[in-house]
C-alpha cells in the first residue's frame, strides 16, 4: 500500500499519513493523487491528523508492507496543488525489507 507521508516543516518531528492506494503486488504501479486530499484551512475538520495536506507541507512516499516494517522516502518535497507535476518514487526490496527511493519529477 502506498501513502503520502506529511510533515509541516523540515524540522518537524510529527508525521501524518495522507491518502492511500489499495494493496498491490511487487512489480506493479500505483498512483496516489494528493490533490484528492487537499485541506481547506477554513474548514475546522480539515486537519492533518484527519488525513489532509496543505500547500507548503513537506511530503514523501510511504510504503506499508504486509510482512515488513513500513518504509518512507528520504527526499521530502514541498506540496503545491497547483504545480501540475508528479513526484515519482520506487518501492523496492523484498516484502520483509522495503525501500523507498525518489526517482524524480515528471512534468
Residue 67 confidence (pLDDT) = 67
Joined together, the cell numbers standing for residue 17 give 499519513
DSSP E strands in 27-85: the ranges are 58-63, 71-72, 77-78
Which helix (H) or strand (E) covers residue 91, if one does? strand 86-94
pLDDT band at residue 2 under the 50/70/90 scheme: confident
Looking at residue 104, its pLDDT comes to: 92
Euclidean distance between the first and the last CA atom of the chain, given in angstroms as a whole number: 24
Average pLDDT over the chain, rounded to an integer: 88
pLDDT given for residue 88 in this prediction: 92
User: What is the tens place of the pLDDT at every residue in 9-54?
Assistant: 889 988 999 999 888 877 778 888 999 999 999 999 999 999 999 9
Q: What is the pLDDT of residue 40?
A: 96
Looking at residue 27, what is its pLDDT? 74
pLDDT(65) > 80: no
Amino acid at each position: 500500500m502506498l501513502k503520502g507521508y506529511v510533515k509541516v516543516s523540515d524540522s518537524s518531528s510529527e508525521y501524518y499519513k495522507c491518502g492511500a492506494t489499495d494493496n498491490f503486488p511487487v512489480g506493479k504501479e500505483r498512483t496516489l493523487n494528493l490533490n484528492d486530499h487537499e485541506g481547506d484551512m477554513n474548514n475546522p475538520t480539515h486537519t492533518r491528523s484527519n488525513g489532509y495536506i496543505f500547500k507548503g507541507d513537506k511530503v514523501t512516499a510511504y510504503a506499508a508492507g504486509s510482512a515488513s516494517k513500513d518504509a518512507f522516502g528520504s527526499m521530502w518535497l514541498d506540496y503545491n496543488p497547483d504545480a501540475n507535476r508528479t513526484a515519482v518514487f520506487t518501492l523496492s526490496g523484498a516484502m520483509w525489507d522495503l525501500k523507498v527511493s525518489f526517482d524524480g519529477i515528471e512534468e
